[in-house]
Amino acid sequence: MQLQRVKHREIDFEKWDNTILSSRLPLVFAQSFYLNATSPNWDALVIDDYDCVFPLTYKTKFGFNYLPQPPFTSQLGAYGNVTIEKEKLFFEYILSHYKLIEIELNQTNQLQSEFIFPKNTFVINYKDGFSYNQNTKRNINKANTHSLIFNEVNYNDVLGLSQHYLNPFLINEFNLSGSSIKLFDQLLINAMNEKKLNTFTVRSSDGKLRAIAHFIFNNKHALFLKGTSFDREENTGSMHFLMDYAINYYKDKAMLFDFGGGSNSQGLAGFYQGLGGQKLDYGHLKINNLPKIVKLLKNKN
């Protein structure tokens, strides 16, 4: 069992993606087109001939290399033919090369450590079925009474529409930086190049935009990337209407519908649970061995 670090320019992306897609939990977050957008120039840890892999989404600050979780990204960690022994190899490598580590591990990773903390998201596992609660059903019925119109956006219009309507929401609601917004736009472009993006909108009968959402998918995992509604005062149920369509759209196209996190927000957690979302637990690896003076500087940034 041989572990090697592969520089970004030397990664065999075809082998990498084959390993991700053959994993027990083949999440889009770990596919090369996704990482190329959210963590440009990432490196790879590879065991044998891409039998098991681990993305290194590293950055450098204050002269120290550190390993952060990229924006718009959840569960990374080990993929492929994962065993505890291989996870230990990865763990030992990153611990010896990075003073600061703050990354999420995917749900199939089983290594336990005092540095791994619980985290969760909400998903629909289609084989287990799903059902909506009464509030969700009421909002979908309300949307139907308002004669809302659902539409899938043509790729030629996706970026302009998203930049005009969704990016301001991301900046104001999540306080995202200009650099993060650029990564988000690049992620949409990469996903469209792979034909792995669906952008859905809901409009009123007079053509006014009521909701928009992006979804990135492979044949096993459908991710609700980002979205929002613009009718909160009128409360026409547009987002419930859109999500209902998306959930049923992917029902015969994927195994897992992923609500994309947000479970730390009670409102979002209730929204996802109302749509049939169930908790999916995974680990968050956090280690800070920075010198004290650098820790102080980090806390001020």
Run of H or E residues at 84: helix 84-97
Q: d(Cα 100, Cα 290) in Å, to the nearest integer?
A: 6
Q: What would the two tokens of residue 58 be?
A: 């590293």
Run of H or E residues at 167: helix 167-174
Cβ proximity of 218 and 26 under 8 Å: yes
Cβ proximity of 222 and 40 under 8 Å: no
Nearest to 123 by CA among 285, 298, 247, 299: 247
Say how many residues make up the chain. 301
Give the type of residue at 228: T
Equal CATH topology for 3-118+282-299 and 131-276: yes
Pairing relation of β-strands 116-125 and 256-258? Answer: antiparallel
The whole-number pLDDT of residue 267 equals 76
> Could you state, in order of their start, the residue ranges of all structural domains in the chain?
3-118+282-299, 131-276
Contacts 24+ apart (CB under 8 A), 84-89: 84/110, 84/111, 85/1, 86/1, 86/47, 86/52, 87/111, 89/1, 89/3, 89/47
Q: Work out the angle between the directed axes of helices 134-145 and 238-249 (0-180°, nearest 10).
A: 110
Which of the four CATH numbers 3.30.1380, 1.25.40, 3.40.630, 3.40.1000 does domain 3-118+282-299 have?
A: 3.40.630
CATH 3.40.630.30 fits 131-276, yes or no: yes
Q: d(Cα 213, Cα 196) in Å, to the nearest integer?
A: 14
**Helical residues (DSSP H) of 250-287, grouped into ranges:** 266-274
The whole-number pLDDT of residue 166 equals 96
Q: Model-level pTM?
A: 0.93
Cα distances (Å, whole numbers) of residue 220 to 23, 25, 126, 251: 10, 8, 10, 10
Q: What would the two tokens of residue 224 be?
A: 């609700």
From its phi and psi, is residue 260 left (phi > 0), alpha (psi between -120 and 50) or beta?
left
Q: d(Cα 253, Cα 218) in Å, to the nearest integer?
A: 8
Mean pLDDT per 10-residue run, the chain (301 residues)? Answer: 96 98 97 98 97 96 88 96 97 94 96 93 96 96 93 97 96 91 98 98 95 97 96 87 97 96 71 95 92 53 48
